[in-house]
Amino acid sequence: MQKFSIDIVKDLPVAQGAVEIVERKGIGHPDSICDSAMDRVSVALSREYIKRFGVVLHHNIDKGLLVAGQVEKTFGRGRVVKPMELIIGDRATFRAGKVVVPVGRIARDTVLDWFKENLRNIDVKRDVKIRVALRPGSVELADIFVRGGEVRGANDTSASVGYAPLTRTERVVLETERFINSPAFKLRFPETGEDVKVMGIRRGGDLDITAACPLLAGHVRSEKEYFHKKAAVFRAIRGFLSDFPFNRVTLNFNTLDVKGHGVGGVYLSLLGTSAEDADSGQVGRGNRVNGVISLNRPMGTEAAAGKNPVSHVGKIYTVLAHRIAREIYERVEGLSEVYVWLLSQIGSPIDEPKAVYIKAVPGKGMDRRAVQRTAPLIVEEFLSDIAAFTGELARGEHPVC
């Protein structure tokens, strides 16, 4: 492949470094709400465009903003004073020929359904407002979608990067949030909200986890009961962490709490998300497409959530780079780590990147020739099947947060 470069470098793998820092934001975090809900809108619009026209038309729903509301809460009760507001922004196709697409209704209904499915304590008629601020796209970018062909041209000059495998620190941070927000955990601890945040720092073989999760005002009648329930949740999370292979694991939970300060000294929530009154959210500030924010890894600048799935390389290449990296890691023996960079040029077909760069970190027994021979073949396999892959993205088969 022309424009293909590969480096085999004896870097220290991230998992063997002295310090590693990884973050994960749960589904109730305002940033995660924006990412997940906006991407759901893109999937819904893609489905509607395909139903009406047979193809995905121009849209990018990646400028969402969640404005925090206002609540009054105390132990045992509370009320919404001002609902949170989700602003759905950027561009979409409202009309093709004589056919009008109800973009605003689709976006609004999709987001409301998302809230119903993911945030069990929110009444969508009372607790959240939706403002659709979508507008038609530019002539140049919209024209990409009427040029024909199975593979679209890239609508941006952009670069993305992916890597494999996840380190044990990345895995434990990812799995800890999923554990706290799992249906089984919520059944066991119905007093816990969904706005979970997990930050992990590994120093050598020791792991330090700081986790935050609000307790719901309606389930906690007093400060004493709050700390009693908090202790039970702490024990459950600590038990979960004990199964991971670290020398020592330290858990810190809701560390802003101070006894004796009443409601002001505890992490209490009415709706289960800090977007009720404390924190706004924005697309692109949440997890990367592999589920974590890993500060020791290279990260692209694109927000994948909400971007159209057939021409916007900010989504396509970001997800694809991680998939390619994982495939190379699994098929080439002896690799410690592999990184894949993909660069697009606006207007060029998305299956013809301007540059592909792979960095391989060797482990024991790695054959350099195997990397140089196999990696380009794997890249070509993925690029040759990119039309099917973009179809999967359009159907929402690859989570982006």
The 3 state secondary structure assigned to the chain is CCCEEEEECCCCCHHHCCEEEEEEECCCCHHHHHHHHHHHHHHHHHHHHHHHHCCCCCEECCCCEEECCEEEEECCEEEEEECEEEEEEEEECCEECCEECCHHHHHHHHHHHHHHHHCCCCCCCCCEEEEEEEECCCHHHHHHHHCCCCCCECCCCCEEEEEECCCHHHHHHHHHHHHHCCHHHHHHCCCECCCCEEEEEEECCEEEEEEECCEEHHHCCCHHHHHHHHHHHHHHHHHHHCCCCCCEEEEEECCCCCCCCHHHHCCEECCCCHHHCCCCEECCCCCCCCCCEECCCCCCCCCCCCECCCCCHHHHHHHHHHHHHHHHHHHCCCEEEEEEEEECCCCCECCCCCEEEEEEEECCCCCHHHHHHHHHHHHHHHHHCHHHHHHHHHCCCCCCC
> Looking at residue 138, what is its pLDDT?
63
Task: Give the pLDDT confidence score for residue 140 in this predicted structure.
Answer: 52
pLDDT band at 65 (very low <50, low <70, confident <90, very high): very high
Looking at the chain, the whole-number percentage of residues with pLDDT higher than 90 is 92
| Rounded average pLDDT over 228-247 | 97
β-pairing verdict for 206-212 and 248-253? parallel
Give me the mean pLDDT over the 63-91 stretch.
Answer: 97
Mean pLDDT for the stretch of residues 350-371: 94
User: 293, 269, 301, 344: which is closest to 75 by C-alpha?
Assistant: 269
Provide the β-strand partners of residue 162: 340
pLDDT confidence tier of residue 237, bands split at 50, 70 and 90 = very high
Start-to-end Cα distance in the chain: 31
Q: What is the pLDDT of residue 141?
A: 53
**CA pair distance 8, 394, nearest whole angstrom:** 35
Residue (of 71, 47, 68, 70) closest to 59 by Cα position: 47
Residue 301 has pLDDT above 90, yes or no: no
Write down the pLDDT at residue 314: 95
Q: Residues 170, 19, 358, 161: is their CA dihedral positive or negative?
A: positive
Q: How confident is the model at residue 2 (pLDDT cuts 50, 70, 90)?
A: low
In this predicted structure, the answer to whether residue 304 has a pLDDT above a threshold of 90 is yes
Least Cα distance to 323 among 396, 395, 389, 401 occurs for 389
Q: How high is the pLDDT of residue 143?
A: 57
> Mean pLDDT throughout 33-53?
97
pLDDT at 137: 74
Tokens of 16: 């063997």
Q: What is the mean pLDDT of residues 235-259?
A: 97
Domains of the chain: 16-26+170-282 (3.30.300.340)
| 377-399 confidence digits (pLDDT tens) | 999 999 999 999 999 999 999 99
Question: In terms of Cα–Cα distance, which of 198, 217, 219 is closest to 209?
Answer: 198
Q: Over 90: is that where the pLDDT of 6 sits?
A: yes
Mean pLDDT of the chain: 95
Distances (CA, A) of 127 to 64, 115, 279, 397: 18, 10, 15, 29
CA separation for the pair 393, 378 (Å, rounded): 20
| Predicted pLDDT at 292 | 98
pLDDT tens track for 121-170 = 999 999 999 999 999 976 555 555 666 667 889 989 999 999 999 999 99
Rounded to an integer, the average pLDDT of 108-130 is: 97
The mean pLDDT value for 261-289 works out to 97
> What SS3 state is found at 311?
coil
pLDDT tens string 176-234: 999 999 999 999 999 999 999 999 999 999 999 999 999 999 999 999 999 999 999 99
Residue 151: its pLDDT value, please?
A: 85
Q: Which two tokens stand for residue 163?
A: 């890597």
Average pLDDT over residues 271-279: 97
Which structure tokens are listed for 207?
């792991």
pLDDT at position 145 is: 61
Task: Give Dmax (Cα) for the chain.
Answer: 67
